[in-house]
Structure 1
Amino acid sequence: MANDENLIPYGKGNRSESEEREMRSRGGKRSGETRRRKAALRDTMNRLLTMQVEVEGLSDILRSDGGESTYEEVIAMAMIQKASLGDVKAYQAIMKTVGQTERSEADLEEQKIRTDRAKRARDQEIGDTDNQDENIRDFLKAMRPTQEDLDNLFADEVEEEEDAEGTEEASEV
């Protein structure tokens, strides 16, 4: 059982640098293997779900409505059937799948306001008064300037050149 007494912290203990490097390397390789295995499983699952299947009575209904009678559609129909019989978990799974939520728009807006307030409070606490959202808006505005912005872009330089010419004329007299 792991606890503070039998753990050897990274960079400390009796392991040499080469041992630690080897352990990190093995961990990275295993992590890559796991990611590839999970990706292969997702691909297989997606391929299987889109395969056509014949289910007596149901396949004809799905095709008549423009469907293809795939496993995906059959599973969706089974969920709908369970939900229609009163299975609340099936209903919640359907709502989650189609992106509906049991929260009202007012609840979602209130949550957004609370989150924004908490973020501002945290930024003030750590002294980060630089508002990233405003910086992003300014950057996007700079990427797509209006004609007025473009006209005013070099206005200061033109005024400086005119002042410099006036100073030059005065010195010649």
Structure 2
Amino acid sequence: MANNENLIPFNRRTVSEQREIQSAGGIASGKSRRRTSRMRETMNRIMTMQAEVEGLSDVLRADGGESTYEEIICMAMIKEAMNGNVKAYNAIMATVGQTDKSEEDLEEQRIRTERAKRARDQEVGNDSEENENIASFLKAMNPADPDLEDLFEEDETDAEEAEETGEV
């Protein structure tokens, strides 16, 4: 019987036990992914099959459709929405990519997202405004012109010495 006394933390297991558990988990995960993939393929195949539904198939064909299960389900959702089913209406709107949010709500969400991204970047140190930071740092340093001239004179002197010794 499994209880708290029988449980062994993963980090206290031997490397071979950890490997066995991970291998079993990987095999189970692969089986699950393959099963989900087969189910998705089956559903896609069924949704594109021709179907006959009295009253709907003729309407779909008259409009240039093929009367597939997919089209029939869409028509049924529209019919339900027309009868006042709000969930059907929301499902249709989500399917076609429309939202019930106003432009102001969407703009507010965009602004919040940008602020959060900026705050995260500042925490991590990935400021996109690095050039501004460098410029402000250099401005704060404010080196005097004679200091800059001395700095560049050393480089020129070193270059001349390198030419004379042939170390170019």
Please list, as runs of the form range in 1=range in 2, the aligned pairs for 1:1-173 lying within 5 A after superposition: 8-12=8-12, 15-130=13-128
CA distance in 2, matches of 1:105, 1:21: 52
Aligned residue pairs total 130
| Residues 121 and 98 (structure 1), Cα distance of their counterparts in 2 relative to 1, 3 Å cut | same
The alignment partner of 1:11 has SS state of helix
| Residues 3 and 122 (structure 1), Cα distance of their counterparts in 2 relative to 1, 3 Å cut | farther
Q: State the Cα distance separating 1:3 from its structure 2 match.
A: 9.4
Q: Which runs of structure 1 show a deviation greater than 6 angstroms over 4 or more consecutive aligned residues?
A: 2-6
Name structure 1 gaps, 5 residues minimum: 132-173
The alignment partner of 2:99 has SS state of coil
Name structure 2 gaps, 5 residues minimum: 130-168
TM-score by length of 1: 0.68
- State, as a whole percentage, how many aligned pairs show the same letter: 66
- How well do the aligned residues superpose, as a CA RMSD in angstroms? 2.4
CA distance in 1, matches of 2:3, 2:119: 36
| Residues 79 and 26 (structure 1), Cα distance of their counterparts in 2 relative to 1, 3 Å cut | same
1:56-89: CA deviation from partner (whole Å, max 9, x where unpaired) = 1211110000000000011111100000000000
CA distance in 1, matches of 2:96, 2:59: 21
CA distance in 1, matches of 2:104, 2:92: 22
CA distance in 1, matches of 2:121, 2:64: 53
CA distance in 2, matches of 1:41, 1:79: 23
CA distance in 1, matches of 2:7, 2:114: 39
Amino acid across the alignment from 1:32:
G
Max Rg structure: 2
> After the TM superposition, which of the residue ranges 98-107 and 79-88 deviates more from structure 2?
98-107
| Residues 94 and 26 (structure 1), Cα distance of their counterparts in 2 relative to 1, 3 Å cut | same
CA distance in 1, matches of 2:24, 2:34: 15
